[in-house]
Chain A
Amino acid sequence: MTSRSRTNKRTLSICPISIGFGFVVLERSERLLDWGLISRRRPCVQYCLDRTERLLEQYQPQILVVQAPRSRTARCRAGTLARSIRGLAATHHVTYKALSYDHVRHRLRPLHVKSKYDIACVIASKFPELAPRLPGRRKPWQSEASAMSLFLALAFALASTGPSLTRILSTSDPA
């Protein structure tokens, strides 16, 4: 009766990018409540924090997942944002989790995914509402599509839940 599948635990997952961040809100690791890309021409950490706070107030998640910065002393905006969001999570009494991309890729190894595009394809098959946002396969001279942050945010959200990530994504039925 009190198993995880019965609680409506909500997870807000954020993937910072250069122009803002991608976010998803997941309920019970199977129900995608909301997703989007927050971007601005010249984004600043405070703007991203304000938008994150708005999401926290709107959806009142129990868990906040952020892509961990590459190093503890990372001075890039994404690293600063990740650290600032930690303080925001503490203010709103939300469990904070920072996951690295390598961690997610390691957990998806049984599905033989090699790149972010492969991860995005697997997620798009499980969550068809995201399929229209799937970017094309990146060419070597291209920079990463900002929409990829949506799929990465969802991958982080799924990786932070209890059930096996590969079990969630390997079932053929869409969510």
Chain B
Amino acid sequence: MNVQGWTSLLLCLYMAAYKLKNYLRMHRRRSGLIQDEIAYLLGSRDGCRVSRYERLRRGPLLEIALAYEVIFNVPVSELFGGVFAEVEKRVIRRIGHLGRKLHLRMPTRLSQRKLESLAAALRASRERHD
């Protein structure tokens, strides 16, 4: 990936950083469900936990995040758009560092395969922002 490609990808990731940490409240209100009803679907007793997730007081466990995906039929990466954007930014930077390290080593079939995997990850990230 050339310098221009890197710059444009990092700019997209920066723009994505304007996203909210999560969009749970938006989807819940669109569905018309109240917090107690979402809590029941998640297996909780009352809506306090749901309120904490929506207000970002507490991050949900993986199972709860996946339950949200089932309830709203929206991928976890979109439900937690802001968090996903931050994680993506960090990982993309590390992909760049690792790619440069692999390039400096003696090329082998295994290192080629690793570079292809990293390039595929970069392409997928680019497509998400195109």
Given known A1-B8, A2-B11, contact A35–B29 (CB-CB < 8 A): yes
Segment at the A interface, from B13-21, B34-42, B61-69, B107-115:
B13-21
Interface string of A7-43 (1 = CB under 8 A from B): 1111000000000000000010001111100000000
A1 neighbours in B (Cβ, 8 Å): 8, 11-12
**Is the C-beta of B26 less than 8 angstroms from some C-beta in chain A?**
yes
B26 neighbours in A (Cβ, 8 Å): 31-34
Judging by beta carbons under 8 Å apart, are B29 and A6 in contact?
Answer: no
Give the CA-CA distance A8 to B20 in the complex, in Å: 9
**Is the C-beta of A132 less than 8 angstroms from some C-beta in chain B?**
yes
Question: B82 — nearest CB in chain A belongs to which residue?
Answer: A8
**Is the C-beta of A50 less than 8 angstroms from some C-beta in chain B?**
no
Judging by beta carbons under 8 Å apart, are B30 and A129 in contact?
Answer: yes
**Is the C-beta of B43 less than 8 angstroms from some C-beta in chain A?**
no
User: Which B residues are within 8 Å of any A CB, using their own CB?
Assistant: 8, 11-12, 15-16, 18-20, 23, 25-26, 29-30, 32, 55, 129
